[in-house]
Amino acid sequence: MTQADTRKSWIASANGHPDFPLQNLPLGVFSTAGGTPRGGVAIGEHIFDLKVAADAGLFTGEAKHAAAAASGASLNAFFALGAGPRRALREQLQAMLAEGSEHQVALEVMGDSLLPLQIDCQLQLPAQVGDYTDFYVGIHHANNVGRLFRPDNPLLPNYKHVPIGYHGRASTVVASGCEVRRPNGQTLAPGAEAPSFGPSKRLDYELELGIWIGQGNAMGDAIAIGAAEQHVAGYCLLNDWSARDVQAWEYQPLGPFLAKNFATSVSPWVVTAEALAPFRKAQPARPEGDPQPLPYLMDANDQAHGAFDIQLEVLLLTPAMRKHGSAPVRLALSNTQNMYWTVAQMVAHHSVGGCKLQPGDLFGSGTLSGPQPDAFGSLLESTFGGKQPIELPGGEQRTFLQDGDEVIFRAWCEREGYPRIGFGECRGVILPAR
């Protein structure tokens, strides 16, 4: 998609909406008081109810199948259909909701197909997560964290050859808005000989792009890099909450476990590849001296268009700010172009040994920090390992998160000739430990 797209919707709130104009149309699962959870599409300040529209017979052909699959309590069946039906649904939705649509009067009369997003609707996890995998492709984060442990040699020798990832916990992936309880765990205090047990004192967030897997592969088969993006259903924001003190003590030799498995939050809307198409970029050239990826990770089209220009923002709302009615404060502004590996490379790598991916599997990108402190995607980095508190308005400081703190992620894309599109928010408030 190279031509400008300035179409408007007959739904007035969509035009100029910072997240959900006609050009976005992300999918999610919502419920209303007394209703069952079902699929919907965000448009301006409204949710377009796919079940009501599908039941009314508004879709035809592949889009009809797609709308039916997206009408249930999770989008897994819709994800399983792949890119063709998803695109067909998008085209019919855009035609239906565009200014001048022949459907406008019918939809306005129906009324109940359009629900006010902020008032009536509870947003849920869009899919049942089969397996959750967290990658580590944010090279500045890997550098920043590595430097805390190994000042002279922050990146391990495999980093520029392998899209490093590990398996996370699927059962505790939750939708934005769910509260996050501070975990108890074992930690080794500085200088102590034996660990102690109690609430984590170094609770942190990690700013990540989430990737929802669509069509999967059979066990034993690999997904070729050229086909890899066809296996992605869409994108979201992901907060990989982390207990740094638990992590430091437990993670050798098999990786993070309790430090991460108490909660992972995602934004509820699935932003599609189609909506993000105008915001693709060439994968940044590797610095001189960096190795070429192995052939199974190389694809010319992926090099030319594999990156995304998505702005990523972290905000913090403390109990004191909430009390004074203050707005949340920005802690960082980063961008998905800080990924050293593309999404296609992640998918190809994950499946190259025959691991089965399934519709509803979730990937995290790893923390997407930029090179400068104002783009660091975790407090571990922003406070240089907890040594240098960050200053907040009103004289507050933070090294790590305190009870009652709310972390808010936002993301959006901007480009001349297109309306801005956004991901919506990924929020979570910290509850005190039990």
Using rule CB under 8 A, residue 295 touches its own copies: yes
> Backbone dihedral region of 366: left (phi > 0), alpha (psi from -120 to 50 degrees) or beta?
left
Q: Tell whether residue 367 is among the known ligand binding residues.
A: yes
What 113-117 contacts at long range (C-beta under 8 Å, 24+ apart), as own/partner pairs, is 113/48, 113/49, 113/52, 113/53, 113/56, 114/11, 114/43, 114/46, 114/47, 114/48, 114/49, 115/30, 115/32, 115/40, 115/46, 115/47, 115/49, 116/45, 116/46, 117/42, 117/45, 117/46, 117/47
Q: Which stretch binds its own copies (CB under 8 A): 99-107, 247-255, 376-384, 390-398?
A: 247-255
Subset of residues 70 to 89 that bind its own copies, contact rule: CB under 8 A: none
Instruction: For residue 243, state whether it binds its own copies (rule: CB under 8 A).
Output: yes
Binding its own copies by CB under 8 A: which of 2, 3, 36, 171? Answer: 171
Task: Tell me how far apart the alpha carbons of residues 78 and 5 are, in angstroms, rounded to a whole number.
Answer: 26
Phi, psi of 245 (to 5 degrees): -70, -35
Q: Does position 300 bind its own copies by CB under 8 A?
A: no
Query: Least distance to its own copies from the beta carbon of 146, Å?
Result: 8
Closest approach, Cβ 168 to its own copies, in A, equals 6
Determine contact, residues 115/49, Cβ cutoff 8 Å: yes
Asked if residue 138 lies in contact with residue 365, where contact means CB atoms within 8 angstroms, the answer is yes
Known binding residue 160? Answer is no
d(Cα 36, Cα 157) in Å, to the nearest integer? 50
Distance between CA 66 and CA 50 in Å, rounded?
Answer: 10
Using DSSP, state whether 310 is helix, strand or coil. Answer: coil
Give the x/- contact pattern for its own copies in 3-42, rule: CB under 8 A. Answer: ----------------------------------------
Residue 167 found at the interface with its own copies (CB under 8 A): yes
Among 21, 85, 168, 210, binds its own copies (CB under 8 A): 168
Radius of gyration of the chain (CA): 22
> Least separation, in Å, of the C-beta of 287 and its own copies?
17
Q: For its own copies, which stretch binds (CB under 8 A), given 30-38, 62-70, 128-136, 413-421?
A: 128-136
Q: Measured from the CB of residue 170, what is the shortest distance to its own copies in angstroms?
A: 5
Nearer to its own copies, 152 or 416 (CB): 152
Please state whether the peptide bond connecting residue 151 to the residue before it is cis, i.e. omega within 30 degrees of 0.
Answer: no
- According to CB under 8 A, which one of 14, 52, 246, 317 is a site residue for its own copies? 246
Whichever of 126 and 364 has its CB closer to its own copies, that residue is 364
Alpha-carbon distance 243 to 378, whole Å? Answer: 11
Tell whether residue 251 is a contact of its own copies (CB under 8 A): yes
Taking CB under 8 A as the binding criterion, the range among 195-203, 266-274, 275-283, 322-330 that sits at the site for its own copies is 195-203
Cα distances from 50 to residues 22, 29, 251, in angstroms, run 16, 10, 44
Q: Which residues are designated catalytic?
A: 141
The whole-angstrom separation of Cα 352 and Cα 296 is 8
Q: Which residues pair with 138 in a beta bridge?
A: 339
Of 2-10, 75-83, 335-343, 357-365, which part binds its own copies (CB under 8 A)?
A: 357-365
Residue from 27, 77, 107, 222 that binds its own copies (CB under 8 A)? 222
134 is in an annotated binding site: yes
* Cβ neighbours around 169 below 10 Å, total: 18
Does the annotation place 240 within a ligand binding site? yes
Inter-residue contact 55 to 42 (CB < 8 Å): no
340 is an annotated ligand-binding site residue: no
Instruction: For the CB of residue 259, give the shortest distance to its own copies in the complex, in Å.
Output: 8
Shortest gap between Cβ of 182 and its own copies (angstroms)?
9
User: CA 147 → CA 157, 188, 339, distances in Å?
Assistant: 14, 20, 18
Question: If binding is defined by CB under 8 A, does position 361 make contact with its own copies?
Answer: yes
CB 264 within 8 A of CB 173: yes
Q: Does 386 bind its own copies (CB under 8 A)?
A: no
Task: Give the residue with the Cβ less far from its own copies, 213 or 331.
Answer: 213
* CB 110 to its own copies: min, Å: 38
Q: What is the DSSP code (8-state) at residue 402?
A: -
**Could you tell me where the beta strands, DSSP code E, fall in 67-191?**
114-116, 122-124, 132-135, 165-167, 173-175, 180-181, 184-187
With a CB cutoff of 8 Å and minimum separation 6, the contacts of 222 are 296, 348, 351, 352, 353, 354
Question: Which residue stretch of 41-49, 260-268, 276-284, 422-430 sits at the interface with its own copies (rule: CB under 8 A)?
Answer: 260-268
Binding residues for Ca(2+): 134, 206, 208, 240
Binding residues: 134, 136, 150, 206, 208, 240, 247, 251, 260, 264, 367
Binding site for its own copies (CB under 8 A): 130-131, 136, 146, 156, 158, 161-162, 164-172, 174, 181, 183-186, 188, 194-197, 200, 219-222, 243, 246, 249-258, 261-263, 291, 294-296, 349-350, 352-358, 361, 431, 434
